[in-house]
């Protein structure tokens, strides 16, 4: 991975973080735990999900296994960038990523997310060949770390859109 790609990835991670923070900014506590309908998450549950997924995916990157050579998959990278934040196709959260009330407030969830996002960014800054290490994504299976980091960038964007949908449904 060259320095331009690294800067693009860091910018993409910032964009995902910023979209999420914008979506939850000024969420009234009165709607944070209100469900917009049956089988739908609350804003607090979305926040919890984003926070625990960031933590889990970072832990998977930290145990990634180096390969003998880079394993780029440009088609998958393009697909992640294009479709990762798209909410038109539902994706069921894996068992460990389903909200269970780990956080008592949006602030607590956001702090957890941001602490891990800082670690994610530090990981990228000190890494050289992110395509030369393999790890496991809970839905896609084996991925290189570059692909995983792209998913980590788009994931908060996807849920920022979900939070906007919830706010609109609840009038908040």
Mean pLDDT of the chain: 93
Distance in Å from the first CA to the final CA of the chain: 42
pLDDT: which is higher, 30 or 49: 49
Neighbours of 75 (CB within 10 A): 8
Please tell me the predicted confidence (pLDDT) of residue 77: 93
3 pLDDT tier (thresholds 50, 70, 90): confident
Share of the chain above pLDDT 90, in %: 80
Residue 1: pLDDT over 80: no
**Token pair of 138 as six digits:** 């809970």
CA-based Rg of the chain, rounded to a whole angstrom? 16
Q: What is the pLDDT of residues 15-42, one digit of tens each?
A: 999 999 999 999 988 899 999 999 899 9
Residue with tokens 């320095």: 3
| Alpha-carbon gap, residue 172 to 156, rounded angstroms | 20
Beta bridge partners of 141: 137
Cross-sheet strand order for the sheet of 133-137 = 65-66, 133-137, 141-144
Q: What is the pLDDT of residues 76-118, one digit of tens each?
A: 999 999 888 888 888 889 999 999 999 999 999 999 999 999 9
CA 112 from chain center: how many Å? 13
Please tell me the predicted confidence (pLDDT) of residue 83: 86
Please tell me the predicted confidence (pLDDT) of residue 38: 92
- 3 state SS of 142: strand
Mean pLDDT confidence for 151-162: 96
The domain made up of 3-170 is a member of CATH 1.20.120.450: yes
């Amino acid at each position: 991975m060259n320095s331009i790609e690294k800067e693009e990835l860091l910018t993409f991670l910032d964009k995902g973080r910023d979209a999420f923070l914008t979506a939850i900014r000024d969420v009234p506590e009165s709607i944070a735990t209100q469900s917009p309908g049956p089988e739908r998450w609350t804003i607090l549950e979305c926040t919890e999900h984003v926070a625990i997924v960031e933590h889990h995916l970072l832990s998977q990157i930290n145990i990634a296994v180096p390969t003998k050579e880079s394993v780029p998959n440009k088609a998958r990278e393009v697909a992640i960038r294009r479709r990762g934040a798209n909410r038109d196709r539902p994706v069921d959260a894996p068992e460990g990523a389903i909200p269970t009330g780990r956080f008592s407030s949006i602030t607590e969830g956001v702090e957890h997310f941001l602490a891990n996002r800082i670690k994610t960014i530090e990981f990228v800054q000190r890494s050289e060949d992110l395509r030369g290490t393999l790890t496991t994504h809970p839905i896609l299976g084996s991925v290189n770390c570059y692909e995983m980091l792209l998913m980590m960038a788009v994931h908060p964007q996807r849920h920022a859109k979900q939070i906007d949908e919830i706010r609109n449904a609840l009038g908040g």
